[in-house]
Amino acid sequence: MNTTNDTPAVTSPVISRRVSQISMSATKEMPILAARVGGCVSLGQGIPSFSTPAYILEAVCRALKENPDIGKYTLQTGLPELRRAVSDHLKIEKHIDTDPEHEVLITVGAMEALLAAILTVVDRGDEVILPSPAYASHIEQVLLAEGKPVFAPLRKENWGLDIDVIKRAVTPRTRALILCNPGNPTGAVFSDEDVVALCRLAAEKNFVIISDETYDYLTYDGNIPLSPASLAEYKDRIITISSFSKKYALTGWRIGWVTASRPLMSQIMKVHDCTAICAPTPSQYAALAALCGPQDYVEYMQNVLKGRRDLCCSRIDALNGAFDYVRPGGAFYIMARYCFTDESSRDVAIRLVNEARVITVPGASFGPGGDGHLRLSFGSSEDVINESFDRIAIWLKKKNL
């Protein structure tokens, strides 16, 4: 009898270092935990409550019926008419001159654009400066590129940029700085003077600015913030990224864009080509309708979200000092510092899910400047916001916090 076991031993699959060192965003993790609890309401993930505007849906329906090529790939760079519309939009709204043929790329949401940009300029061990608290996915994408996030703390009193801190963070290994303006998770709108100072620093120290302008249209107390790419003398070291998701209620359509000078774009295109080929064709038609159609729905959403910001702030104020916060000037987030416990932000967020059935996002997921805070989104309806704070108030009272 053959007692030799010829069956190969079962071993664990080999996982790459680049994947092993990243984490799933807490923004996505908290809803998963909440789904197990059941009956939760959300101040968590940044999804506006608005439905995709009817005029966009109608335009896509027409294209689906009338365009036999809508189920096929477009050019890798995207529909020519959409790239022209993006270029025209940037000229009118931000005074940015772009060549739609060679400097505009349509992507699978801003997230793909961000990753393609980061993979283009960051090698293993390279440093990327992140004003902190920073958007969690910026951190993880830098790590995925095997770069090193270097956190430059924002000013606590207003979440503003501290240019001196950023200057001290620059080293010979610095390859990029990611600027999110208005900011996620803080809702801060950075001053034009500070944006200009960053561009000067990038030119002096030879690094790239990746400008995430997803929330550019959402400013409540002033104009659209200055885009670094509008400063022509610095254009060759600026990569600008934006999204249709929030502005046009197209989060599920996964459509965005990136603009950069031709030398940079030719390299970004290679990453896009080997990961996505092209953005989904129906989504490109949705984006085209969004840019070329009436913009009154955007203004309506701005006004509604401004009211929700004010509601959220008033509900926090009514919690008798349980939270401290900076009133956001843009986006739809409040980075609220809790004053009732020394527990980690993750522990507090999990307790809120389990005990109050309210979803928030732990501040620590946004870098070292975020622990001790919870990110609260006011993208949900007024009813959801009020229900969330009603539950938090009851929870605080029960816990004597």
Res 310: pLDDT: 98
3-class secondary structure, 34: helix
Q: Quote the CA–CA distance of 334 and 42 in Å, as a whole number.
A: 14
Q: What is the mean pLDDT of the chain?
A: 95
Together in a domain, 266 and 307: no
The length of the chain, given as a count of residues: 401
State what percent of residues in the chain have pLDDT above 90: 91
Q: Are residues 138 and 108 in the same domain?
A: yes
Cβ pair 60, 289 in contact under 8 A: yes
Domain boundary (292, 322, 341) is at 292
- Please indicate, yes or no, if residue 287 is contained in any of the structural domains: yes
Specify if 58 maps to a domain: no
Burial class (CB in 10 A: 0-12, 13-18, 19+), 81: middle
Q: Tell whether 351 is covered by a domain.
A: yes
Report DSSP state, residue 278: S
Judgement on whether residues 216 and 327 belong to the same structural domain of the protein: no
* 101 lies in the same domain as 214: yes
What pLDDT shows up at residue 399?
82
* Residue at a domain's end among 292, 323, 339: 292
- 216 and 310 inside one domain: no
The answer to whether position 7 is within a domain reads no
Give CA–CA dist 323/339, Å, rounded: 6
User: Measured between alpha carbons, how far is 206 from 258 in angstroms, rounded to an integer?
Assistant: 21
Percent of the chain with pLDDT over 70: 97
Residue 230 sits in the same domain as residue 286: yes
Range of the domain at 342: 17-46+297-398
In order of 105, 170, 192, 223, the CA distances from 166 in angstroms are: 30, 7, 16, 25
pLDDT band (50, 70, 90) for residue 365: very high
Domain count, the chain: 2
CB 164 within 8 A of CB 312: no
pLDDT of residue 4: 52
Closest CA to 181 of 193, 162, 195: 195
304 and 285 within one domain: no
Same domain, 79 and 152: yes
Q: Does the pLDDT of residue 3 top 80, yes or no?
A: no
pLDDT at 1 over 60: no
346 and 257 both lie in a single domain: no
- How far apart CA 35 and CA 362 sit, in angstroms, is 17
Q: Is the pLDDT of residue 27 over 90?
A: no
Concatenated DSSP letters of 316-377: HHTTTTSEEE---SBTTEEEEEE-S--S-HHHHHHHIIIII-EE-EEGGGG-TT-TTEEEEE
Residues 283 and 342 in one domain: no
Measured CA to CA in angstroms, residue 10 lies from 7, 17, 374 at distances of 9, 21, 43
Q: Which of 292, 310, 334 is the last residue of a domain?
A: 292
The domain spanning residue 343 has which CATH number?
3.90.1150.10
Q: Which CATH number fits the domain that encloses residue 232?
A: 3.40.640.10
Q: Does 304 lie in the same domain as 262?
A: no
Structure tokens at 35: 């789904």
Judge if 133 and 192 occupy the same domain: yes
Nearest residue to 253 via CA among 41, 66, 107 = 107
Answer yes or no: is pLDDT of 5 > 70: no
